[in-house]
Structure 1
Amino acid sequence: MTSTSLSNASSNDLSNKSALTLSTPSYADIQSIVADDFKIMDRQVFGSLDSKVQLVMSVSQHVINAGGKRMRPLITLLCSRMFNDNPSEQSMHLAAITEMLHTATLVHDDVIDESNQRRGKPTANATWDNATAVLVGDYLIARAFNLLVGFQSLPLLQLFSDGTCDIAEGEVLQLQHQHNPEATENDYLRIIDGKTSRLFMMATQGAAILQGQNQHLPALADFGQHFGNAFQIIDDVLDYSGDSELMGKNLGDDLAEGKPTLPTIKALELLETSNPEGYKQLRIAVQTGKTPDADQLIELVRGSGSLDYCKQRALDETKLAQQALSTLPDNCYRQGLYQLTELASARLV
Structure 2
Amino acid sequence: MNDAMSYAEIQAIVDEDFAIMDKQVFGSLNSKVQLVMSVSKHVIDAGGKRMRPLITLLTARMLQDVQSEQAMQLAAITEMLHTATLVHDDVIDASGLRRGKPTANATWDNATAVLVGDYLIARSFNLLVGFNNLPLLKLFSDGTCDIAEGEVLQLQHQHNPEACEADYMQIIDGKTSRLFMMATKGAALLQGRDELLDDLGAFAYHFGNAFQIIDDVLDFSGDMAIMGKNLGDDLAEGKPTLPIIKTLEFLKNSASDDYDKLRIAVQTGKVDDAAVLIDLVRQSGAIEYCKNQALEQTRLAQEALARLPDNRYRDGLYQLTKLASSRLS
TM-score, structure 1 normalization: 0.93
1:339 aligned to 2:319?
yes
Q: Which residue of 2 aligns with 1:46?
A: 26
1:207 aligned to 2:187?
yes
Alignment partner for residue 221 of structure 1, among 183, 201, 207?
201
Paired with 2:255 and 2:104, the residues of 1 have a C-alpha distance of 42
Paired with 2:214 and 2:247, the residues of 1 have a C-alpha distance of 16
1:253 aligned to 2:233?
yes
Q: What amino acid is aligned across from residue 72 of structure 1 in structure 2?
A: R
Paired with 1:243 and 1:257, the residues of 2 have a C-alpha distance of 19
Deviates more, 1:149-158 or 1:271-280: 271-280
1:278 aligned to 2:258?
yes
CA distances 1:295-337 after superposition (whole Å, capped 9, x unpaired): 0000000000100000000000000000001111000000000
CA distances 1:158-178 after superposition (whole Å, capped 9, x unpaired): 000000000000000000000
Q: Which residue of 1 aligns with 2:85?
A: 105
CA gap 1:275/1:77 in 2 versus in 1, 3 angstroms: farther
- Deviation at 1:274? 3.2
1:227-266 matched pairs, under 5 angstroms: 227-266=207-246
Q: SS at 1:82's partner residue? A: helix
Paired with 1:276 and 1:268, the residues of 2 have a C-alpha distance of 12
CA distances 1:96-155 after superposition (whole Å, capped 9, x unpaired): 000000000000000000000000000000000000000000000000000000000000
Alignment RMSD: 1.1
Alignment partner for residue 115 of structure 1, among 88, 95, 104?
95
1:326 aligned to 2:294?
no
CA distances 1:36-72 after superposition (whole Å, capped 9, x unpaired): 0000000000100110000000000000000000000
1:175 aligned to 2:142?
no
Q: Which residue of 2 aligns with 1:305?
A: 285
Paired with 2:263 and 2:3, the residues of 1 have a C-alpha distance of 41
- Deviation at 1:23? 3.8
1:198 aligned to 2:164?
no
TM-score, structure 2 normalization: 0.99
Q: SS at 1:327's partner residue? A: coil
- Any stretches of 5+ residues in structure 1 without a counterpart? 1-19
Paired with 1:129 and 1:165, the residues of 2 have a C-alpha distance of 25
- Deviation at 1:275? 5.0
Q: Which residue of 2 aligns with 1:73?
A: 53
Paired with 1:324 and 1:301, the residues of 2 have a C-alpha distance of 32
Identity of aligned residues (%): 75
CA gap 1:139/1:275 in 2 versus in 1, 3 angstroms: farther
Q: Which residue of 1 aligns with 2:118?
A: 138
Alignment partner for residue 64 of structure 1, among 44, 49, 53?
44
- Deviation at 1:212? 1.4
- Deviation at 1:243? 0.7
Paired with 2:7 and 2:230, the residues of 1 have a C-alpha distance of 24
Alignment partner for residue 106 of structure 2, among 120, 123, 126?
126
Deviates more, 1:221-230 or 1:269-278: 269-278
CA distances 1:254-313 after superposition (whole Å, capped 9, x unpaired): 000000000000000001123541111000000000001000000000000100000000
- Any stretches of 5+ residues in structure 2 without a counterpart? none
Q: What amino acid is aligned across from residue 149 of structure 2 in structure 1?
A: E
Q: What amino acid is aligned across from residue 111 of structure 1 in structure 2?
A: V
CA distances 1:238-264 after superposition (whole Å, capped 9, x unpaired): 000001111110000000000000000
Detail structure 1 runs of 4+ shifted over 6 Å in the superposition.
none
Paired with 1:188 and 1:272, the residues of 2 have a C-alpha distance of 18
Aligned length: 329
1:317 aligned to 2:293?
no
Paired with 2:78 and 2:119, the residues of 1 have a C-alpha distance of 14
- Deviation at 1:211? 1.3
